Amino acid sequence: MLEARGLTKYYGSVLAVQSIDFSLEPGQVLGYLGPNGSGKSTTVKMLIGLLEPSSGQVLFHGKNIQSDLVAYRKHLGYVPEEANLYPYLTGYEYLELVGTLRGMPQQRMKAKIDSFLELFSLFPHRHVALSSYSKGMRQRILLISALMDNPDVLILDEPLSGLDVTSALIFKNLIQSLSAKGKTIFYCSHVLEVVEKVCSRLLILRKGQVIASGTTEEVRQRIGQTSLENIFLYLVEDRDVAQIANDIVDVVVSP
Amino acid sequence: MIARVRQSFLAGWEPYSRRPFPTLLRVFIGRVFHGGGDSGASEMDVALGVVLILLAMPGVLVSLLLFEKYGSLIRWMRGDGVFDPFTAAIPDEYFFIVLSMVVTGAAAVWRWDALFLDRRDYSNIVPLPISLRRIFLGNLCAILFLAGALTLDVNAASLVLFPVVVVGSQDSLSLLIRFGVGHAATVILASVFSFFAVFGVIGLLMAILPYSLFRRISLYVRFLIALFFLALLATNFAVTSFLAQLTRISKPAVTMLPPVWFLGIGQTLWGNGHNPFFAAMTRSALLALGISLAVAVLSYALSFRRSFIRLPETAEVGPLPRSQFHLLPSNLFDRIILRDAPQRACFHFITRTLLRSEAHLQIASAFVAMGLVVSAQSVASAFHANAADMLRSPSEDILAIPFILSFCIVVGIRLAFEVPSDLRANWVFALWIDPNTLQTRPIARKVLLTFSLAPLVPICFVLSAIFWGFGVAFLHTAIFAACTFAFVELLLLRFRKIPFTCSYPPFQSHSALLFVAYLFGFMIFTVYLPEFELWALADPWRVSLFVPLVAVILLSVQQYRKQMLDMDKHLIFEEISASGF
The answer to whether A85 faces chain B, any CB pair under 8 Å, is yes
- Closest residue on chain A to B428 (Cα): A98
Whether the predicted pLDDT of A238 surpasses 80: no
CA-to-CA distance for A155 and A82, rounded, in angstroms?
13
Whether the predicted pLDDT of B38 surpasses 60: no
- Most confident range, picked from A54-63, A64-73, B219-228, B504-513: A54-63
CA dist B526 → A253, B213, B385 (Å): 73, 38, 18
Residues in A closer than 8 angstroms to B357, CB to CB, are: 88
CA-to-CA distance for B91 and B77, rounded, in angstroms?
21
More confident residue, B424 or B70: B424
Residue-level pLDDT at B89 = 82
Residue-level pLDDT at B580 = 34
Q: What is the pLDDT of residues B407-433, one digit of tens each?
A: 999 999 999 998 888 888 888 898 888
Residue B322 and residue A128: Cβ atoms within 8 Å? yes
Residue-level pLDDT at B41 = 44
Q: Are B189 and B285 contacting, i.e. CB atoms less than 8 angstroms apart? A: yes
The domains of chain A are located at 2-75+152-253, 85-150
- Closest residue on chain B to A128 (Cα): B321
- Closest residue on chain A to B429 (Cα): A101
Residues in B closer than 8 angstroms to A90, CB to CB, are: 321-322
Least confident of B360-374, B454-468, B477-491: B360-374
Chain B, residues 130-159, CB within 8 A of chain A, namely: none
> From the CA of A78, how many Å to the nearest CA of chain B?
9
Q: How confident is the model at residue B363 (pLDDT cuts 50, 70, 90)?
A: confident
The answer to whether A97 faces chain B, any CB pair under 8 Å, is yes
Which residues, including other chains, have CB under 8 Å from residue B123's CB and lie 6 or more apart? none
Residue B40 and residue A127: Cβ atoms within 8 Å? no
More confident residue, B379 or B316: B379
CA-to-CA distance for B83 and B244, rounded, in angstroms?
16
**What pTM, to 2 d.p., does this model score?**
0.74
Which residues, including other chains, have CB under 8 Å from residue A181's CB and lie 6 or more apart? A27
- Closest residue on chain A to B359 (Cα): A88
User: What is the mean predicted confidence (pLDDT) over A139-147?
Assistant: 93
Residue B427 and residue A84: Cβ atoms within 8 Å? yes
Residue-level pLDDT at B44 = 45
Interchain CB contacts (distance < 8 Å): A and B: 78
- Most confident range, picked from A183-192, B67-76, B469-478: B469-478
> From the CA of B56, how many Å to the nearest CA of chain A?
34
The answer to whether B213 faces chain A, any CB pair under 8 Å, is no
CA-to-CA distance for A4 and A49, rounded, in angstroms?
12
Q: Are A86 and A94 contacting, i.e. CB atoms less than 8 angstroms apart? A: yes
Q: Are B472 and B534 contacting, i.e. CB atoms less than 8 angstroms apart? A: no
Residues in B closer than 8 angstroms to A78, CB to CB, are: 431
Residue-level pLDDT at B143 = 87
Residue-level pLDDT at B390 = 67
More confident residue, B505 or A109: A109
The answer to whether B120 faces chain A, any CB pair under 8 Å, is no
Chain A, residues 55-84, CB within 8 A of chain B, namely: 70, 73, 76, 78, 80, 82, 84
Residue B357 and residue A88: Cβ atoms within 8 Å? yes
Residue A127 and residue B322: Cβ atoms within 8 Å? yes
The answer to whether B433 faces chain A, any CB pair under 8 Å, is yes
CA-to-CA distance for B332 and A37, rounded, in angstroms?
49
Residue-level pLDDT at B333 = 79
- Closest residue on chain A to B323 (Cα): A127
Which residues, including other chains, have CB under 8 Å from residue A162's CB and lie 6 or more apart? A83, A134, A135, A136, A138, A139
Question: Nearest Cβ partner of B432 from A96, A102, A106?
Answer: A102
Residue-level pLDDT at A115 = 95
Which residues, including other chains, have CB under 8 Å from residue B241's CB and lie 6 or more apart? none
Question: Nearest Cβ partner of A84 from B38, B425, B432?
Answer: B425
Residue-level pLDDT at B579 = 40
Residue A87 and residue B422: Cβ atoms within 8 Å? yes
Chain B, residues 318-337, CB within 8 A of chain A, namely: 318-319, 321-322, 324, 331
- Number of other residues whose CB lies within 10 A of the CB of residue B580: 7
The answer to whether A9 faces chain B, any CB pair under 8 Å, is no
Residue-level pLDDT at B40 = 43
Residues in A closer than 8 angstroms to B431, CB to CB, are: 48-50, 73, 76, 78
CA-to-CA distance for B162 and B154, rounded, in angstroms?
13
Q: What is the pLDDT of residues A8-49, one digit of tens each?
A: 999 888 899 999 999 999 999 999 988 888 888 899 989 998
Question: In 3D, which of B189, B167, B169 has the Cα closest to residue B177?
Answer: B167
Whether the predicted pLDDT of B362 surpasses 70: yes
CA-to-CA distance for B64 and B458, rounded, in angstroms?
46
Report the alpha-carbon angle B30-B292-B198, nearest 5. 50
Residue-level pLDDT at B18 = 73
CA dist A3 → A204, A207, B115 (Å): 16, 21, 53
User: Which of B428-461 are b and which e, b meaning 16 or more Cβ less than 10 Å from the residue's Cβ?
Assistant: bbebbbeeeebebbbbbbbbbbbbbbeebbeebb
Q: Are B289 and B193 contacting, i.e. CB atoms less than 8 angstroms apart? A: yes
- Closest residue on chain A to B325 (Cα): A127
What does the DSSP 8-state code read for residue A129? B
Q: Are A132 and A114 contacting, i.e. CB atoms less than 8 angstroms apart? A: no
Question: Nearest Cβ partner of B421 from A76, A82, A86?
Answer: A86
The answer to whether A36 faces chain B, any CB pair under 8 Å, is no
- Number of other residues whose CB lies within 10 A of the CB of residue A154: 23
Q: What is the pLDDT of residues A49-79, one digit of tens each?
A: 888 899 999 999 999 998 888 889 889 999 9
- Computed over every residue of chain A, the mean pLDDT equals 88
Residue-level pLDDT at B128 = 76
- Number of other residues whose CB lies within 10 A of the CB of residue A172: 16
User: What is the mean predicted confidence (pLDDT) over A205-234?
Assistant: 80
Residues in A closer than 8 angstroms to B421, CB to CB, are: 86
Residue-level pLDDT at A38 = 86
The CATH-assigned architecture of domain A2-75+152-253 is 3-Layer(aba) Sandwich (3.40)
Residue A50 and residue B427: Cβ atoms within 8 Å? yes
CA dist B443 → A236, B344, B347, B430 (Å): 50, 9, 6, 17
Question: Nearest Cβ partner of A70 from B322, B349, B434?
Answer: B434
Residue-level pLDDT at B557 = 92
Residue-level pLDDT at B321 = 59
Residue-level pLDDT at B248 = 58
What does the DSSP 8-state code read for residue B268? I
Residues in A closer than 8 angstroms to B353, CB to CB, are: 86, 88
- Number of other residues whose CB lies within 10 A of the CB of residue B481: 20
- Computed over every residue of chain B, the mean pLDDT equals 82
Question: Nearest Cβ partner of B428 from A93, A98, A106?
Answer: A98
No. of helices (H) and no. of strands (E), chain A: 10, 10
Residue B430 and residue A50: Cβ atoms within 8 Å? yes
Least confident of A201-205, B142-146, B171-175, B522-526: B171-175
> From the CA of B436, how many Å to the nearest CA of chain A?
10
> From the CA of A101, how many Å to the nearest CA of chain B?
5
More confident residue, B403 or B366: B403
Residues in B closer than 8 angstroms to A89, CB to CB, are: 349, 352, 356
Q: Is B389 helix (H, G, I), strand (E, B) or coil?
A: coil
Residues in B closer than 8 angstroms to A151, CB to CB, are: none
Whether the predicted pLDDT of B541 surpasses 60: yes
CA-to-CA distance for B7 and B9, rounded, in angstroms?
5
Question: Cα-atom radius of gyration of chain B, to the nearest Å?
Answer: 27
Residues in B closer than 8 angstroms to A87, CB to CB, are: 40, 422
Q: What is the pLDDT of residues A87-100, one digit of tens each?
A: 889 999 999 999 98
Question: Nearest Cβ partner of A93 from B352, B421, B431?
Answer: B352
Residue A100 and residue B341: Cβ atoms within 8 Å? yes
Question: Does the predicted interface ipTM exceed a cut of 0.95?
Answer: no
Residue-level pLDDT at A182 = 92
Question: Nearest Cβ partner of A88 from B318, B356, B424?
Answer: B356
Chain A, residues 124-153, CB within 8 A of chain B, namely: 125, 127-129, 131-132, 145
Residue-level pLDDT at B39 = 44
CA-to-CA distance for B235 and B257, rounded, in angstroms?
10
Residue B431 and residue A93: Cβ atoms within 8 Å? no
- Number of other residues whose CB lies within 10 A of the CB of residue B179: 25
> From the CA of B429, how many Å to the nearest CA of chain A?
8
More confident residue, B77 or B162: B162
User: What is the mean predicted confidence (pLDDT) over B440-448?
Assistant: 93
Least confident of B160-169, B343-352, B443-452: B160-169
Q: Are B571 and B435 contacting, i.e. CB atoms less than 8 angstroms apart? A: yes
The answer to whether B53 faces chain A, any CB pair under 8 Å, is no
User: What is the mean predicted confidence (pLDDT) over B205-223?
Assistant: 82
Whether the predicted pLDDT of B507 surpasses 70: no
> From the CA of B288, how many Å to the nearest CA of chain A?
38
Least confident of A38-52, A216-230, B316-330, B550-564: B316-330
CA-to-CA distance for B151 and B188, rounded, in angstroms?
6
The answer to whether A101 faces chain B, any CB pair under 8 Å, is yes
Percentage, residues of chain B above pLDDT 90: 25
Residues composing chain B = 581
The answer to whether B11 faces chain A, any CB pair under 8 Å, is no
